[in-house]
Amino acid sequence: MTKPAPVADICQAPAVTSLSGVGKALAGKLARVHIHDLIDLLLHLPLRYEDRTRTMPLAQLKPGLNCLIEAEVVGSALHRGRRTSLQVQLQEQGGRLNLRFIHFHANQAKAFVRGKRIRCFGEVRPGPQGLEMVHPEYRLFTGDPPALADKLTPVYPTTEGISQTRMRQLVALAWQEYELHSHWLRELLPDSIISKHGLPPIATALKQLHFPDTKQVFELSEASTSPAYQRLIIEELLAQQLCLRQARQQASLNPAPAFTADSHTANQLCQSLPFTLTRAQQRVWHEIQTDIQQRKPMLRMVQGDVGSGKTIVAALAACQAIDAGYQVVILAPTEILAEQHLHNFQHWLQPMQIGITWLAGKQKAVERRQALAAIADGKAQVIVGTHAVFQQAVTYQHLGLVIVDEQHRFGVAQRQALLQKAPAGTTPHQLIMSATPIPRTLAMSAYGDLDHSLIDELPPGRKPINTVVISNNKRDQVIARIESACSAKQQVYWICPLIEASEELQCEAAEETAEQLTQALPRLRIGLIHGRMSADEKTTIMANFKAAELDLLVATTVIEVGVDIPNANLMIIDNAERLGLAQLHQLRGRVGRGQAHSHCLLMYQTPLARLARERLHILRQSNDGFVIAEKDLQLRGPGEVLGTRQAGAISLRIADLLRDAHLLPKVHKLADHYIQHPQHSQELIQRWVGSRQEYIAV
């Protein structure tokens, strides 16, 4: 492979304020769309293109067309109603068109003089008096018409206070600056890659995309497949991969503790279990063992569908750390999930005299002081909690292993704060668990710095959950089904997406639903749990439900993960059409954890939109979380699947992980080469990631 040209140093592009007419105020507006320097401006590509190189005859206009027209003003009038509008009538060669302005001023209305010529661009729509354009761009003139554009007109993503015209001017100024001083936009891909894939140089690609000739209009209507776009997509995906790999290298700068291969405590735990680990669990446990015997910090994500047994594998890793004399932290995003981990670890490890401590934000002062003291002097060998575990007041004696559940719910700074609790000069091993299946396509890019393990086998005896999609009109039948299940000594969940009623969303609120069900099912013991309750209230309710002191639990989505009630075999999800596929699958996974057959009823409000119907159909057809995750990625896109906290990690300008997945193997090979040339790598990262780099580091 041909190496890129030598780089003396990383050349920073001029700031946007170097352009004529760009002061602090405009620079601040540009920063809102992540434009800080001239390279950012040139990488701010058009959303689409408008053809203003020719005019369209009025007689050929059709609804939905975006086009340029030229005609004569034949009349104008103010139409008074609930809101006054200005309407202008145009005519040309037997064709007619109306212009409608809702926002206008008096001088503007006076300018539309009968007999004047006008050229305007906009979308043609059906109106009350024939075809019309609403608030088109226009220019009135007398005499010779203004010259037509000789190239397609780009339409850019913009923000409040920056018009399309101004954005086009800024891009043109940035390009002029490049042509005068081209050193800050260098070619960073090897010649061999450019020639092998028929790609244009970076400057050629940008010129084609910002200033396309009319002959390119059909090619650019499918811009992502054009050589110019492919050139930029490959470079951006490469920059992202390099950034992830640098993060991995950075995390490995300090050594990690090397745990011994044989763990007496882990062996003792395995012998005490009433079940045998599945082949998938044994494989993943072996992968973790191999990692934590090294001085290099483990960075491993363990993925597994709900109920696949990730937690016991994490407990075995904890045993190995404890035998080596180190402390273990288990970090969860919610108190309910953290409490579930606490109960599991207490059940498994306390019989072996292992000290386990709980740390959460709403603890009483005395309990918190005792917990902090136990952590500081090492009596607490396993610390389970929420965000409280990485607060400044927490001092660990010898932190060696960090276990993070549902890690995409935590910000980068939060995870970094926890890693810094390790002894000076060391980095703890990290084990990340996720019951939110992340498609391989997405994991390769968003979590490229992590090793991946997959528990792709459910424990024996786990039965598939029967999923039924049912209309809210059959609510009475659903209530009768609940009564029948509870009469058979089973327990039931009823999930509501909102706490309080909302007329706009037409959702049943949890509090109202609990009242209605109490009236409809007076013989049942009904509990209510939602996110606005105190931690003590939620703990008490969940303990009562687990102890079978409640028959029916009405809950919001706070029970999405971590709740394990084997006797709960029926779940009703109200307004299921309001929730995403991944969340519905997570909720459904709360049942089917015992030996009995389990059922999930997805109840929807009519009428059901096409996309919502498709989501519910997918869930009814499949119990496989990874199949569902792939479908979710196709329906919602990668940012939604990962969640907003992780969105920075896939904040791509041009590339699309779903559309461009076929390029990832090629990009990974390129990254293998580039990571050996830090200077070249850093310039690529600076070009594409820039100030957002901190969001990608783990």
CATH of the domain at 409: 3.40.50.300
Rounded Cα–Cα distance for residues 621 and 545 (Å):
30
Q: Provide φ and ψ at 376, rounded to 5°.
A: -70, -35
Task: Dump pLDDT digits (tens) for 494-521.
Answer: 998 765 555 444 445 788 899 999 999 9
Q: What is the pLDDT of residue 506?
A: 43
Task: Collapse the DSSP code of 504 into the 3-class scheme (helix H, G, I; strand E, B; otherwise coil) and give the result.
Answer: coil
Please count the structural domains in the chain: 3
For residue 641, pLDDT over 60 is answered with: no
Q: What is the pLDDT of residue 266?
A: 93
426 and 337, same domain (yes or no): yes
Q: What spatial distance separates the first Cα and last Cα of the chain, rounded to whole Å?
A: 30
Mean per-residue pLDDT, 146-162: 89
Tell me the C-alpha distance between 68 and 75, whole Å.
20
Residue that terminates a domain, selected from 622, 642, 668: 622
Report if residue 102 sits inside a domain.
yes
Q: Is 469 exposed, middle or buried (0-12, 13-18, 19+ CB in 10 A)?
A: middle
**What is the C-alpha to C-alpha distance for residues 543 and 52, in angstroms, rounded to an integer?**
68
533 and 422 co-located in one domain = no
**446: which 2 tokens?**
């968003």
User: Which residues form the domain of 435?
Assistant: 264-455
Where does a domain end: 395, 421, 455?
455
Residue 226 located in a structural domain:
no
Do 72 and 105 lie in one domain? The reply is: yes
The pTM score is 0.65
CA distances from 147 to 55, 141, 168, 602 (A): 11, 12, 18, 60
Q: Is 529 domain-assigned?
A: yes
- pLDDT above 80 for 383: yes
Question: pLDDT tens, 294-347?
Answer: 999 998 989 887 778 899 999 999 999 999 999 999 998 877 778 888 988 999
- Judge if 372 and 476 occupy the same domain: no
- The pLDDT of residue 362 is 76
What size, in residues, is the chain? 698
Q: Which of 2-16, 48-62, 191-205, 566-580 has the lowest mean pLDDT?
A: 2-16
pLDDT score at 442: 63
**Residue finishing a domain among 126, 148, 170:** 148
Alpha carbons 128 and 79: distance in angstroms, whole number: 12
pLDDT tens column, 191-221? 888 888 888 999 999 999 999 876 655 455 5
Same domain, 448 and 474: no
Mean pLDDT of the chain: 84
Domain match, 491 and 437 both: no
**pLDDT value, residue 622:** 84
Evaluate whether residue 223 is within a structural domain: no
196 vs 217: CA distance, rounded Å? 25
Domain check: are 297 and 435 in the same one? yes
Cβ pair 679, 10 in contact under 8 A: yes
CA distance 396 to 257: 15
